[in-house]
Structure 1
Amino acid sequence: MADTSSSSSAPTQVAAPPGGRLLAVAKRVAERALWTRVAVQRRWQGRGGGAPGAGRPVPTSVAPTGVLGDTQTWQRAADEARALGLPLHRDLPKNWDALGAVAAVLNLADDGSRTARVMDAGSARYSPVLPWLRLYGLGSAAGSLLGINLEFGRQVTRDGVVFRYGDVTSTGLPDAHLDAITCMSVIEHGVPIEGFIKESARVLRPGGVLVVSTDYDQSPPDTTGKMIYGSEVHIFSPAEITDLVALAERHGLELIGELDEATFAHAERPVHWKRVDLRYTFILLTFRKR
């Protein structure tokens, strides 16, 4: 589907909410609670007269590229996010890749001025990456923090962050427009991988950063017949991740960090998706645009 850039041109038919209406209501409640907390925290941060987020340390516990190896690792990430005053994702393992993505944006895509332009591809309004970046002071310029998703209809703004309908393979953004793209737990849901990588490379400036997380296992469980969000569940294997990294390289996106046999291994399967009763883990990949 083609991307649109404003509420007036939003699609007349929006994708049905995944998981049904009750889950959609729960997500809206989580969204409102999250953004209310962000607004309150930002007002409190600004009371001293300094720039919001200026004194908040950058996360350190999650490397730009790696595999979530065990439960202790995501617990450590959640503890760090809590200590930094960042509102946690209620699905606690997801705080691991979100913290890594935020650290990568702050360390690799922003020069310290907190003016980086960031898009969250396949975003959800209750996801932590954009709220956390807002708490670090990004998003002061209109439209500099953007979330797009094919499920979104009318454009919505939350504390300066714009959420609108958009296709991750055809964003409608100008060439070299963004400093960073994050894409958390999205590409496993039927996303055309080459189209996504090609579009990400197009809209990133030279030196810009793409951070991707996805479901992964060194020996993926059988997902035959397990459907979610309109497609069969997919858990990436080491060979598929290797192919993805090679594809990104062909489009001018260089992996930051190393992927080898030791990196691909994980002692546990610390993620349990109850709706489909599968255990696996996450992988986080960070690329820099040449």
Structure 2
Amino acid sequence: MTTPHTPQHAAPPGGRALAVAKRGAEHVLWARVAGQRRLEALRGTARPVPDSVPPTAVLQTRAEAEAAVAAAKALRLPLHHDRVKNWDALGAVGAVLALGGRDGALPQRVIDAGSARYSPILPWLRLYGVPFLLGTNLEFGVPVRRDGVTFRYGDVTDTGLPDGSVDAITCMSVIEHGVPIVPFLAESARILRPGGVLAISTDYDYDPPDTTGTSMYGVPVHIFGPGEIRELVAQAGAAGLELVGELTEKALQHPERPCHWKRTGLDYTFVLLTFRRR
């Protein structure tokens, strides 16, 4: 286990007004999850594992994003307010459920690194019945529990968790915000059990726009290009993480830029990468 350290909490991104709005969305979401879980338990209803988004892929079109929204609705999963974010969430949750457990069982321990309490990953996994769920983020202070899920301070490069203690890690739209990639991959590999799963999504473009001078949340805006994604895959391999699927030259291209970040005016897409711990 790594040496404990004193948390240095980050300020909530976007200012106080946005933080209040996010807190309201969080309470609505988790109230729905708790009620839905109880109702589905009484009815004995179940849902299939999502399989419409591959574990490793580039979001190609707006139509693909809308298809993911429709699939999440059909599975009775509460949607992310940013509709395109349901695409990578659906792929990551599908990968965790299909690959993260032992011998076909549910994964038992899943960490959402760089989590937000209003995002869909942990609520969706809670609805599927994963027993231990933890969300960590530099901006979290005192640990908070939502319907059995714990959210607490945590650094994606220095979690303090024991070696091989986790079945799966998700890290959604986080690494583009100044995360040191090699330490993050090394720490993920350390805490994953052999055969465990790491699912990462990030902003991507085959021909990235110029973001020089553009900053958000206190760090420069970064959109990964194909060379950087290939380098990340190689760095993951050196850390003992093997890519699930392939990223060919054709797969890295995309005819549309389905994502629009209104506050920066940027258009781009997402890439989802899933790895297994060797």
TM range (shorter): over 0.9
1:122 and 1:3, CA in 2 relative to 1: closer, same or farther beyond 3 A?
farther
1:3, 1:166 within 8 Å by CA — same for their partners in 2?
A: no
Answer yes or no: is 1:157 the counterpart of 2:154: no
Change (3 A) 1:217 1:113: same
1:34 is aligned, of 29, 33, 43, to 29
CA RMSD after TM alignment: 1.5
Letter aligned with residue 231 of structure 2: D
Q: Could you tell me whether the CA contact under 8 Å between 1:10 and 1:154 is conserved in 2?
A: no
In the superposition, the TM-score normalised over structure 1's length comes to 0.92
Give the structure 2 partner of residue 44 of structure 1: 39
Distance, in Å, in 1 between the alignment partners of 2:116 and 2:205 is 24
Residue 115 to residue 69, structure 1, CA distance change in 2 (3 Å)? closer
Task: Give 1:114 deviation, angstroms.
Answer: 2.8
* Residues 34 and 255 of structure 1: CA distance in aligned 2, closer, same or farther (over 3 Å): same
Q: Which residue of 1 aligns with 2:66?
A: 75
Asked if structure 2 preserves the Cα contact closer than 8 Å seen for 1:3 and 1:167, the reply is: no
Between Structure 1 and Structure 2, how many residues are aligned? 276
Question: Which amino acid is the alignment partner of residue 281 of structure 1?
Answer: T
Deviation at 1:47, TM superposition (A): 1.0
Match of 1:148, SS state, is strand
Aligned twin of 2:88: 97
2:257 pairs with 1:243? no
Match of 1:191 among 175, 179, 184: 179
Query: 1: CA distance between counterparts of 2:9 and 2:49?
Result: 37
Find the counterpart in structure 2 of residue 117 from structure 1: 109
- Which structure 1 residue ranges, 5 or more long, are not aligned? none
Which consecutive unaligned segments of at least 5 residues does structure 2 have?
A: none
Compute the TM-score of the two structures, normalised by the length of structure 2: 0.96
How far has the Cα of 1:116 moved from its partner?
2.0
Q: Which moved more, 1:215-224 or 1:109-118?
A: 109-118
Give the corresponding residue for 1:281: 269
Match of 2:259 in 1: 271
- Please give the alpha-carbon distance, in whole angstroms, between the structure 1 residues aligned to 2:265 and 2:183: 30
- Match of residue 130, structure 1, among 122, 129, 152: 122
